[in-house]
A = this chain, B = another copy of it.
Amino acid sequence: MKHEKMLMLFVLMGLFILAFIVLTLANMIITQITLDFSGLIDTARDSTIWRSIWLTLYTAFLATVIAFIFGVPLAYVLARKDFFGKGLIEGIVDVPVVVPHTVAGIALLTVFGTHGLIGAPLASYVKFVDALPGIVVAMLFVSTPFLINSAREGFQSVDPRLENVARTLGASRWRAFYKITFPLAFRHVLVGAVMSFARAVSEFGAVVVIAYYPMITPTLIYERYISYGLSASRPVAVLLILVCLTIFITLRTIAGVRRHDRD
């Protein structure tokens, strides 16, 4: 189309951003494979690495499950009810996106540390600092907004009149929710859970403050980088990103994300 100059320009500018993202990741992976393929193989055979990847996925999964249990009900309330102070609640939900990661770490340490508000009374039952629960708490803090916002969008996209009709047919509010609204919003909830999980896996700043050990992979990468430099940490980074992208693409395909379905 000769008259679509503006669109061509827009596409070109968009390609810069896309190229920046793709190039950055692709270059790392390709550099690793072409320059030091044996290093990658060695890393892939290192059980320490796999243990840390497994720990990362496991803690992220726990964080997502907790976010799901407590976040989905909140998302439903935000989608269906108007009340005074709703804007404030929505602001609070978004706060974790805004909090600098190391600040989140310090804050969580204050609360969940051995002398903290929650950490102290629980000290004889659960240890958070430098322990698995600390990792989960840090991941939960940074990842909830993704789940809640996506689920809220999902519930909003379901016409409340469907619930109304279901209730006239004899369904209680709860039954209308799990028979009608939840199934219809399920895709959004799943997408939210995927993003939330991914965000949990990606976290470093908050986790490293509250729990340097046991080492999740992002921490391991940082530790190797500081101790042995780029060439020692890059194979781990490549391995982790391959694992992440595989999971992300798989789940995204299952959830069947297409923007115009979502909007």
Q: Are B234 and A209 in contact (CB under 8 A)?
A: no
Residue ID in chain B nearest A18 by CB atoms: B92
Which residues from B are CB-within-8-Å of A103? 202, 218, 221, 237, 240-241, 244
Q: Are B7 and A77 in contact (CB under 8 A)?
A: yes
Q: Are A177 and B6 in contact (CB under 8 A)?
A: yes
Q: Are A78 and B259 in contact (CB under 8 A)?
A: yes
Interface check A95, CB cutoff 8 A = yes
Total identical chains: 2
Interface check A227, CB cutoff 8 A = no
Interface check A169, CB cutoff 8 A = no
A-B contact pairs, 24 of them (CB 8 A): A6-B172, A7-B81, A9-B73, A13-B69, A14-B78, A17-B74, A17-B93, A17-B148, A18-B92, A21-B144, A22-B92, A25-B95, A28-B111, A90-B258, A100-B201, A100-B202, A100-B217, A101-B218, A106-B221, A106-B233, A106-B237, A156-B259, A156-B263, A204-B205
Roughly how many angstroms separate A4 CA and B11 CA in the complex, as a whole number?
50
The 3 closest A-B pairs by CB, nearest first: A14-B74, A204-B205, A10-B73
Interface check A71, CB cutoff 8 A = yes
In chain A, positions 201-246 with a C-beta closer than 8 Å to chain B are: 201-205, 208-209, 217-219, 221-222, 225, 230, 233-234, 237, 240-241, 244-245
